[in-house]
Amino acid sequence: MKHPLHCIAIILSCTGIHGMTASAQVDLNPLPRNSSLSLPSELPGGQWQMENAFGSTRFNQPIGMAVAPGDNQSLFILERPGRIIKFDVPSGTGRTFMDISNRVNTGGEGGILGLAFHPDYQENRRFFVFYTLNASNGSGSGYHTRISRFERDPQNPDRAMGNSEAVLISQYNQASNHNGGDIHFGPDGYLYAALGDEGGANDTYQNSQRIDRDFFAGIIRIDVDEKPENLLPNPHPASVGNYRVPADNPYIGVEEFVNNPVNPDEIRTEFYAVGLRNPFRMSFDPLTGALYAGDVGQGAREEIDIIEKGGNYGWSYREGRIRGPRFSLFRDFIDPIYDYQHGSGPMEGRSVTGGVVYRGDRYPELFGKYVFSDYVSGNVWALESDGTQSRVTAGNIVRGMQNISGFGYDPTNGDILAARLNNGVIVRLTRQENTGSETIPHLLSQTGAFSDLSTLTPETGVYPYELNHPFWSDGAGKQRWFALPENSGEIAFESSRPFPRGSVWIKHFEMEMEAGNPESRRRLETRFIVKTADHVYGLTYRWNDQQTDAELVPEDGLTETLEIQRDGETVQQPWTYPSRSACLFCHSRPSGGVLGFSPHQLDRMVSWLDGEPVNQIDLLENGGMITPSEANHPKPSHLAVSMDDPDASTAAKVATYLHVNCAPCHQPGGPAVGTWDARITTPLWQKNILGADLVRTEVPGETALVEPGAPDASALLNRISTRGPRQMPPVASHRIDQQAVDLLREWITSPAVTTLDLPEQSWESWFRENFQTAPDGWSQASGDGDDDNTPEILEYLLDTDPNDPESGWTFSTSATSQSIRFEFPAIPQRGLNLTIQSSTSPSGPWELKTLVPDPLAPTIHEVETAESDRVFFRIVLSQPDY
């Protein structure tokens, strides 16, 4: 009996099956560059200064300030001797909120030092105070640092009840300095408190590297709501009660610390981070949730730290980045993101005061920067950091502002405020405009973008472009253009800084005033993103009522209400014209500053040049706008798709939606709370989205970011289904994207989500376990250390041994004159793609048959063949696309 000729090849791929988008050949001369745009190369700057925020109003040793959730009018000012002033910012008047001066000890560096309002303060009336006093308890008699809970008077919102005190922690101190004292609620709803090393010099009391002793030299995190899933603290005389310990605090159950054994029952499980000398002022970035702290040094260095869970910052083995008084070779210390030496120069000082990250609307060049000061030298700096690299922006420096003891925000507009302890005033950081700098055109007609505004005809060198899927903008219609300046280089998408300086992107918005009637369209705004030497800046122009021109929107933006006829009734819909700072919210550094102009979005057919349909990327390459590269065409699994494409899968649409609407913030280094990755290039199993713990549960029944099979328990769906403080995306939208809501609800209940079996170990942990070294991101994913033709990433997903060539993936075949039978082993249900490709020629074309692997039993597949057939097979196992 004759057998058909079968040739079988195995392809194990870490990137999946892919190809380029089909495109007609485009033969063009270079497209002309632009010379008409008249936008400044950089935003006009100015001189920074700090001026009295509230005129001649004086306070008694103001040492800090806080804002209560739900109150955008009041600033609560801490007076060191023991009073809290509730100050009404619009009227410029204040009154005593609480006075506990009769119990406060202001000796040394003491006083009332910290204030934090419970996230649900408007409902439960609770707030927390850190202060020093004389007391006696099991931890000692004399000078104490204390954290207590108080309540607002239920009958009077302007007065707190001093007799409502409930003590949480009251710790005896042998010295009266290095008290720390700042307290804040984190995004997770827990209370964080900064603790000094008890005082003295050279870590006199040897607290800095101890977690099994007292409450000193670190940051603690406690649960003041006493949730049942959290733990009781280990017994200690200073631990009075009224709190529990979050079950995921980092030192619970450890048996070794800094190479020394410790008893888990004696650990202060409240610790979140350790190794700090005197963390004087810390704050959470209101956007990213990063916790910054200024740690006061001893004789040589001052430092700024980003506090990580379980982090050890080195004191007293180190001071800043240099050796400390008790130097040790222990390696697991976290470096400060910035430190500076002692001295009186413009980049020096003697006692750091930790600051705050600016997220207001008035000063775009300050957006995302951490403003802090030195108490002695009076220098005020703006620090730019992505969490790993930092630099001081010298242009934002203010000198001569001694005695700054704390920073905060104006609740009415987000301005940065600072308390000057010995001067008795609250000061505001402001900018005085420079004269003679480049000016911003006041009218759209003056920008040089359009030769005819009535038809929106672009100037020479300003070209339209189209996206596969746009960002949701409350149903507005949009048009887009871009321009590269004369004598600039091409765009190189594979470069880390791909856009030439002076490149401009333009987006125009129109809204139907009668839904469904294109004739009722009204021009709303035209926005610009301009590439600078360092990043980007944004401008917005609002169209006038006559629709003849558009006027530059104020720096801090504006909002108006549109009246739209929808479903037979008039609907009032807010429309926000973004501030220049708000532009940087999405156009952040991790996103590259420019969002839609990417291969994932541009790889599509367009007809904007001579009406001939061509691939947009090919058109731009041949026109000399982007550097020719195969990488410019993403594989289909990384291509954004239209939500209306009937051939696109639900998974592809979800991947596109998340990439466009979420990835500007939710990606490594991005400005968002949480660690999930929304980029379209990140497969679903890598996104850290399915079953991922929530930073804070705010809706009853929510259990995870995406809870497979349970839409109502999925925070991601809930947040795109609402408008208001919890909405996502958080800016530029006042109307729910119902199509997206329906799409995500369908996806969460689909088999692609409900049957996915995520690896128990992370890729990093698995790689470290098998190769005794940490991976360099995903660069080793395609490696094959045991030469079994199975890439490391598939060894990881298949649970095979990457160091044993006999452990790789294989399958068996058997043939008859009528068929060939394939038997594939059980494959974990991790979205792996198993494809059988067949052809009568080794060069194709290939017919594809995609199989769904069985995670519990072998997968059998039989292919019928004729006796005379000459058949070639390719078996492709690849990692998941989404």
Per-residue HEC secondary structure of 226-288 comes to: CCCCCECCCCCCCECCCCEECCCCCCCCCCEECCEECCHHHCCCCEEEECCCCEEEEEECCCC
**Section 660-669 average pLDDT:** 87
Higher pLDDT, 720 or 842: 720
Higher pLDDT, 14 or 130: 130
Residue 880 predicted with pLDDT over 60: no
Residue 591 predicted with pLDDT over 60: yes
Q: How confident is the model at residue 386 (pLDDT cuts 50, 70, 90)?
A: low
Classify 748 as helix, strand or coil.
helix
348 close to 379: Cβ distance less than 8 angstroms: yes
**Section 552-576 average pLDDT:** 93
How many Cα atoms within 13 Å fall on the side-chain side of residue 796? 32
Task: Report CA dihedral (447, 449, 451, 452) to the nearest 10 degrees.
Answer: -90
Residue 423 predicted with pLDDT over 50: yes
**Section 547-574 average pLDDT:** 94
**Section 757-783 average pLDDT:** 81
DSSP output for 160-186: EEEEEEEEEEEEE-SSSS-----EEE-
**Section 393-408 average pLDDT:** 86
Q: How confident is the model at residue 882 (pLDDT cuts 50, 70, 90)?
A: very low
Residue 207, both tokens: 């607290």
Q: How confident is the model at residue 682 (pLDDT cuts 50, 70, 90)?
A: confident
Q: How confident is the model at residue 877 (pLDDT cuts 50, 70, 90)?
A: confident
Does residue 38 have a cis peptide bond before it, meaning omega lies within 30 degrees of 0?
no
Residue 3 predicted with pLDDT over 60: no
Residue 148 predicted with pLDDT over 90: yes
Residue 22 predicted with pLDDT over 50: no
pLDDT of residue 230: 96
**Section 579-602 average pLDDT:** 87
pLDDT in tens, 800-815: 899 998 887 888 888 8
Measure Cα distances from 619 to 34, 260, 323, 383, 792 in Å.
17, 64, 58, 41, 37
> 5-14, 140-149, 745-754, 803-812: lowest mean pLDDT where?
5-14
Looking up tokens 């090919």 gives 618
> 5-19, 51-65, 238-252, 723-737: lowest mean pLDDT where?
5-19
**For strand 390-392 and strand 404-409, is the pairing parallel, antiparallel, or unpaired?**
unpaired
pLDDT of residue 23: 41
**Section 373-398 average pLDDT:** 79
**Section 325-354 average pLDDT:** 90
Sheet holding 425-433, edge to edge: 46-52, 425-433, 416-420, 404-409
pLDDT of residue 16: 43
pLDDT of residue 715: 92
Give which of 376, 370, 377, 385 is closest to 416, Cα–Cα: 370
pLDDT in tens, 32-60: 999 999 999 988 877 899 999 999 999 99
* pTM over cut 0.85: no
94 close to 57: Cβ distance less than 8 angstroms: yes
- Torsion 316-317-319-323 (CA) sign: positive
Residue 435 predicted with pLDDT over 60: no
**Section 109-121 average pLDDT:** 97
Measured between alpha carbons, how far is 180 from 286 in angstroms, rounded to an integer? 21
Q: Beta partners for 143?
A: 134
**Section 817-843 average pLDDT:** 83
Give which of 872, 832, 877, 835 is closest to 855, Cα–Cα: 832
**Section 324-330 average pLDDT:** 87
859 close to 813: Cβ distance less than 8 angstroms: no
How many Cα atoms within 13 Å fall on the side-chain side of residue 268? 27
pLDDT in tens, 685-696: 788 888 888 877
Helix axes 650-661, 738-748, angle to 10 degrees: 130
pLDDT of residue 92: 96
Mean pLDDT over each residue of the chain, to the nearest integer? 89
pLDDT of residue 530: 96
**Who's near 758: CB < 8 A, 6+ residues apart?**
685, 690, 691, 830
Q: How confident is the model at residue 782 (pLDDT cuts 50, 70, 90)?
A: confident
Q: How confident is the model at residue 1 (pLDDT cuts 50, 70, 90)?
A: very low
pLDDT in tens, 255-290: 999 999 999 999 999 999 999 999 999 999 998 889
pLDDT in tens, 605-658: 998 777 788 999 999 999 999 998 878 888 776 789 999 988 788 888 999 999
Q: Please give the angle made by the CA atoms of 846, 17 and 646, to the nearest 5 degrees.
A: 85
pLDDT in tens, 210-243: 999 999 999 999 999 999 999 999 999 999 999 9
Higher pLDDT, 463 or 853: 463
> 332-346, 348-362, 755-769: lowest mean pLDDT where?
755-769
**Section 524-546 average pLDDT:** 95
Residue 110 predicted with pLDDT over 60: yes
Residue 130 predicted with pLDDT over 70: yes
**Section 868-882 average pLDDT:** 73
Classify 766 as helix, strand or coil.
helix
Q: How confident is the model at residue 208 (pLDDT cuts 50, 70, 90)?
A: very high
Higher pLDDT, 710 or 850: 710
